[in-house]
Amino acid sequence: VIVAGSGPYATNTLWDATQMCANYAYRALTYQGYTRDTIYYISADTDLDLDNDGYPDVDADATNASLEYAIKTWATDADNLLIYMVGHGGEGTFVTGEYELLDAADLDAWLDAAQQTIPDFVALVYDGCHSGSFVPYLIPPAGKTRIVAASAGPNEPAVFQADGGLSFGYQFFSYLF
C-alpha cells in the first residue's frame, strides 16, 4: 500500500516531493516483480498512469477511509503487508488530505485487525515530520511481527530536498530498486 498524503492544495510546498517519492516507490516495487494488482496506490492525483498503459495506477483518493479499506479489506488475503506513507506529519498524526488527519492509534487498530488474517509480517515505512511519534503506538498483537521505519524522530522534521530525491523514502526505495 502506497499513500501519497497531504494533497496538492495551494499551500502544500511538499506535494511535488511527496508525489515523486510515492511514484518512485511504485516503480521500485514493479521493478521487483509486484504487479498493479498487488499494489494499492492512494493519492489525490487519481489520474496517474505510471506504466504508460493508458489506465490510471492510483486505486483511490487519499483519505483515511481509503487507507482503512486497503488495510482491513483489500489486504486480507496477503501473506504480508508493506505500507509506505509519505507526506506531512505531526506528533501522532499523518496528514492524509488537506482537511484530514490520520491518528496513530487509528492506524494501530487497523493494523491489529489486518494482522488477524495476515500470517506473516506487517511493515510500515513512514516518511514525514514527527514520524517517529508513531512507533510507540504501533505495537503488534501478541505473536505477530510488525516492522516500523520512521524517517524522523518524534519531535524532528523530515528532510525532503531536491524535489524529494534526498529523502528517507526515496533512498529506501532506491535500495529496493
Give per-residue pLDDT as tens, 7-58. 999 999 999 999 999 999 999 999 999 999 999 999 999 999 998 999 999 9
Task: Please give the angle made by the CA atoms of 60, 121 and 28, to the nearest 5 degrees.
Answer: 50
Average pLDDT over residues 125-140: 98
Give per-residue pLDDT as tens, 92-102. 999 999 999 99
According to the model, what pLDDT value does residue 151 have?
97
What average pLDDT does the structure give for the chain?
96
Give per-residue pLDDT as tens, 135-155. 999 999 999 999 999 999 999
Give me 44's grid cell.
489525490
pTM above 0.95, yes or no: yes
According to the model, what pLDDT value does residue 12 have?
94
Reported in sequence order, the residue ranges of 48-167 that DSSP labels E, i.e. its strands, are 81-86, 89-90, 93-97, 100-103, 122-127, 146-150, 160-161, 166-167
**Dihedral (C-alpha) 77, 80, 86, 88: value to the nearest 10 degrees?**
80
According to the model, what pLDDT value does residue 159 have?
96
Residue 61 — pLDDT band, cuts 50, 70, 90? very high
Give me 161's grid cell.
530536498
